[in-house]
Structure 1
């Protein structure tokens, strides 16, 4: 997702809101929200905060800023750009990382035997 408009639309649909519902919640018209989503307008800081709060995302996520969390495991970093990975529960993320690591170990051992 390359711009804030795409991210607003992505998270709005992910959370199951129509344009009209989200527009009402953030206090703008449906037309204004449509302009945000089509990148013809950019929401001001206060509106971005409202959008992020309602969609239950951080301002960093809304603005496409990738921040490495201090306690984030190195294994999780390779999945950071995979669509949907951040929406999984920590347990589901860990399960995926474990499966990938197991597969990697298997492939490394297989290559060593050749």
Structure 2
């Protein structure tokens, strides 16, 4: 998906008009339309403003990832080792189904899921293979 397609998609998901977004960014709706139709690319400053407005990562807008907002955005809440551990956990097909909506969840829900994962990890830390859950 192109940068323009992602910009248009994010704007439409929020239910915003081009006029509304252009006003918030301080540009004309013609400029925004050119971005969305891939006739013109935003400069780096405008790309950051667009990402902030749509609450997505610039890497997502640029097509470097299909994840709109990475958990790295929440790095202040968990350290790098814990983040890697959580990523491994949710990418495991046996665990990940519970967290399948994490990547698209609103910020408050992501925080809840991180807290829940911490609870699971703490409860299971001394469990050995073959032990029944809760023993």
TM-score range normalised by the length of the shorter chain: 0.5 to 0.7
Unaligned 5+ residue runs, structure 2? 72-83, 114-135
Q: CA deviation at 1:26?
A: 1.1
Which residue in the other structure is 1:87 paired with?
104
Q: Among residues 75, 85, 91, which one is paired with 1:74 in the alignment?
A: 91
Unaligned 5+ residue runs, structure 1? 92-114
Higher relative contact order, structure no. (Cα contacts within 8 Å, ≥ 6 residues apart): 1
The answer to whether the aligner puts 1:61 opposite 2:60 as a matched pair is yes
When normalised by structure 1's length, the TM-score is: 0.63
Which residue in the other structure is 2:3 paired with?
4
When normalised by structure 2's length, the TM-score is: 0.54
Which residue in the other structure is 1:36 paired with?
35
Q: Deviations over 1:24-77 (max 9, x none)?
A: 11111000100000000000000000001111111111112227863312237x
Root mean square deviation of aligned Cα: 2.8
Report how many residues are paired.
Answer: 87
